[in-house]
Amino acid sequence: MDTPVNPRGRTAQGARPPLALALTGVVRRYSQGQGAIEVLRGADLAISHGQSVALVAPSGSGKSTLLHIAGLLEQSDAGEVFIDGIPTARLGDGERTRIRRLSIGFIYQFHHLLPELSAVENVSMPQMIRGLSRKEADARAKDLLTYLGLGARLTHRPSELSGGEQQRVAIARALANAPRLLLADEPTGNLDPKTSDHVFGALTELVRATGVAALIATHNLELASRMDRRVTLREGKVVELA
């Protein structure tokens, strides 16, 4: 079943606000050896503001590809990606980077924190890039980290934190600029089951508290059941799950 998408998320009367994310007819091919594989073959997906969606699909089906395209980290070969109603396919790199910085938070499986910076500095950095003063950025970073239970770890560097703590810093960093859309690629994939449950709990709580729209790839069905919707990838298309 293909999801019918009205990318700007409006009713016939034009009353509703734009969707946080809409993908329409997204195609992505990679050359492999002599030939090419088509990973996404006209994928459609619409996510409203405040909605959380789990992406549960087999390894190699294209989850990371879809997330990278939705996060404007990668270009599609065809189709359109609307962020907050803005079509992005024809934008240049500078404009795509600007939208990404303003509107999108990304959490990776491996936290990708800067090793030489403390927890607070890692979370302050994206805010300062956006133009906030160090004082304002640090204040928000401390609030977020404390909310995530890291109040006693603010000045620790990543190497001084556990895997679960590092991933909570990565969650705080992704939400630091109050994005409209949060994308996460197996955010608890490298954690043990108990830590994974704890980190995912913190993530879902923060998603609810901030009202950010979220698309989270996970192999964990129990964690996926806590999201508003579940989707999968079948033959390069997004399919809604029960």
Closer by beta carbon to ligand ATP, 57 or else 144:
57
**Positive or negative: CA dihedral 54, 38, 43, 8:** positive
- Closest approach, Cβ 189 to ligand ATP, in A, equals 8
Q: Distance between CA atoms of 83 and 239, rounded to whole angstroms? A: 20
- Closest approach, Cβ 205 to ligand ATP, in A, equals 25
CB atoms within 10 A of CB 68: 18
Q: Check residue 227 and report its DSSP letter.
A: S
* Radius of gyration (C-alpha) of the chain in whole angstroms: 18
Closer by beta carbon to ligand ATP, 25 or else 189:
189
Residues making up the chain, counted from first to last = 242
- Closest approach, Cβ 75 to ligand ATP, in A, equals 12
**Positive or negative: CA dihedral 72, 227, 186, 132:** positive
Closer by beta carbon to ligand ATP, 74 or else 143:
74
- Closest approach, Cβ 74 to ligand ATP, in A, equals 8
Closer by beta carbon to ligand ATP, 65 or else 177:
65
- Closest approach, Cβ 62 to ligand ATP, in A, equals 4
Report the candidate in 1, 30, 51 with the shortest Cα–Cα distance to residue 212. Answer: 51
Binding region for ligand ATP (CB under 6 A)? 30, 32, 39, 57, 59-65
Closer by beta carbon to ligand ATP, 18 or else 79:
79
Closer by beta carbon to ligand ATP, 11 or else 59:
59
CA 38 to chain centre: 23
- Closest approach, Cβ 184 to ligand ATP, in A, equals 12
- Helix segments in 71-225, DSSP class H: 93-103, 119-129, 134-147, 163-175, 193-210, 221-224
Q: Distance between CA atoms of 56 and 231, rounded to whole angstroms? A: 6
